A and B are shown apart, each in its own frame.
Chain A
Amino acid sequence: MTRRSLLTIGDLDRAEVARILRVGNRFAEVMTRDIKKVPTLRGRTIINMFFEASTRTSTSFELAGKRLSADVVNVKGSGSSVEKGETLKDTVITLNSYAPDVLVIRHASVGACAMAARYTDAAVISAGDGKHEHPTQTLLDLYTIEREVGPLDGLHIAFVGDVAHSRVARSGIRGFQMMGARVSLIAPPTLLPRDAGAALGVETSTDVRDVTDADVVYVLRMQLERMGPGGFVPSLREYAMTYGINHGRLRPGQRVMHAGPINRGVEISGELADDPTTLIERQAANGMVVRMAVLYDLLAGPSGSPEPAGAPIGAVAV
């Protein structure tokens, strides 16, 4: 059986997102125990394939799998056969022969995860493909906002900064809108895709002062590695002065998010990044429980509709 994959946030509907967030709450409780582990996915195999640098996402996926008692194998770009020139397709076909249940893939190319899903029977979870999407980041962002700020319905979330190269924003816009939030984009013209407002159904602005209108200010990392030789901003110093988010640009009570890693003093000031009222640390902590919920959702139910609570196990003759 080919399993269901999570390649974009659009693979989920509102009810499914809500279910994952609810299950995340349950795993958050598990993390408060002395034994931070449940046997739910015992005997399942998860292969994490990270062909792009990652600390939070790769670690949280690894821990999420292990705390669900799955067997977790990590494949990195460096040190693997990819370094010898093997294509992603061939790597996936090879790993598929080991009958994994899930492939978690991060890759620098847009569409890499969708392509990989065609060559494996395992569920594929995108852990970020180029500047395309990062669906589990959006789920953990939704979870964090619901827990720390309140219901998404009617909240105003403003993405600020390098929208053009941000898979976090691309997934986030769809995810936040799906859950009823109002989304706006604030960026210098060079980092705001043309017609983004009309195409995505969001408000856009090039004036950083508009951040005061938002309930949550989501600061985007300047993705210098995706910008190439330059031309998007005159200099990082000038960007920091004109678009960097600091205490002075916020009104009291606004919550700040950042998916990390942070360029201190560029898109966000060091003082603000260290301020405990931001949600940045909560985002990192919630990443693991939400990824546990995603793995549970993909692997625990082969089809879909929820079973009534309390239905006894073993009630069906095999």
Chain B
Amino acid sequence: MADKVLVDEDQVRRTIARIAHEIVERHGDPQRLALVGIHTRGVPLAARLAALIGEFAGSRPATGTVDIALYRDDVGLDGRRGALPVVGDTILDFDVSERAVILVDDVLFTGRTIRAAIDAVFDYGRPPMVQLAVLVDRGHRELPIRPDYVGKNLPTARTERISVHLAEIDGRDEVVLDSDGGGRA
């Protein structure tokens, strides 16, 4: 079945701009803020948000990346999709204890990735606050995790697949639905 575009390029751009405005409204001084992108597509999203906040507020917040491979709660469990997580970089080269951290991801689904990302950030220090910004919330939470900034709420069936494409990685901006996707993302 062909992919169905749920959010087009222009909507993605406007949605990210709106989230950036919301962050500025709630936080004021970007110097006390850090946007931490969760690999893979959270990383360019965090960079875009930081650039927009720089435009809107006059200074850019710090940015970082977090990889959750070492913090997953399902590594090596028999019966799971048997695969070794690729381990990427975590780069938090600012003092985590001195800035409110906003985790940034493309899709919020079960919440387990976010739990793992929070664990990873806390191994670097004790941030005064951790918030969550996502481009898409597709529901089906398995943990009590709630986003603070949501681009689009897209209720889905569990078997459906939501894919976020971003220009930096995929060459275009869009959110698509693939009903044959088997539940990833």
Partner-B contacts on A (CB < 8 A): 1, 19, 22-23, 26, 29-30, 33-35, 37-41, 44, 296-297, 299-318
Contact = CB atoms under 8 A, between A and B. Distances in A.
Contact of B184 (A1, A23, A302, A312): A312
A139 to B, nearest CB: 16
Given A38-B71, A40-B70, A301 B76 contact: yes
A33 B66 CA distance: 14
A316 B112 CA distance: 11
A40 B74 CA distance: 9
B88 interface: yes
A207 to B, nearest CB: 44
Contacts of B25: none
A306 B74 contact: no
Q: 9 shortest A-B CB distances, which residue pairs? A: A301-B84, A310-B40, A314-B112, A303-B82, A314-B110, A307-B83, A300-B75, A38-B70, A309-B86
Among B75, B84, B111, B125, residue most surrounded by chain A Cβ atoms (within 10 Å): B84
Among B76, B90, B111, B113, residue most surrounded by chain A Cβ atoms (within 10 Å): B76
Given A306-B86, A313-B74, 8 more contacts: A26-B67, A297-B84, A300-B75, A303-B83, A304-B82, A309-B40, A312-B112, A317-B183
B109 interface: yes
A310 B75 contact: no
Given A301-B83, A302-B82, A313 B110 contact: yes
A305 B110 CA distance: 24
B72 interface: yes
23 contacts: A23-B87, A30-B70, A38-B71, A39-B71, A44-B76, A299-B76, A300-B75, A301-B76, A301-B82, A301-B83, A302-B82, A304-B82, A304-B83, A304-B84, A309-B86, A310-B39, A312-B109, A312-B112, A312-B113, A312-B184, A313-B72, A315-B185, A317-B183
A40 B75 CA distance: 7
Contacts of A29: 89-90
A48 B144 CA distance: 39
Among A26, A35, A305, A318, residue most surrounded by chain B Cβ atoms (within 10 Å): A26
A235 B124 CA distance: 55
For chain B, give the interface size range.
35 or more
B84 A307 contact: yes
B83 A314 contact: no
B80 interface: yes
A39 B119 contact: yes
A38 to B, nearest CB: 4
B78 interface: yes
B79 interface: yes
Which secondary structure dominates chain A's binding surface?
Answer: loop
Nearest to B125: A34
Contacts of A309: 39-40, 67, 86, 88
B26 interface: no
Contacts of A22: 87
Contacts, number: 117
Which secondary structure dominates chain B's binding surface?
Answer: loop
Contacts of B185: 311-312, 315
B28 interface: no
A33 B78 CA distance: 31
Contacts of A306: 83-86
A35 B86 contact: no
Contact of A26 (B38, B89, B111): B89
A78 to B, nearest CB: 33
Nearest to A312: B113
Contacts of A23: 87
B66 to A, nearest CB: 12
Nearest to B120: A38
B57 interface: no
Nearest to B119: A39
B158 interface: yes
B130 interface: no
A207 B13 CA distance: 69
A311 B158 CA distance: 16
A35 B184 CA distance: 32
Interface in B80-129: 80-90, 107, 109-113, 116, 119, 123-125
Interface string B49-84: 000000000000000000111111111111111111
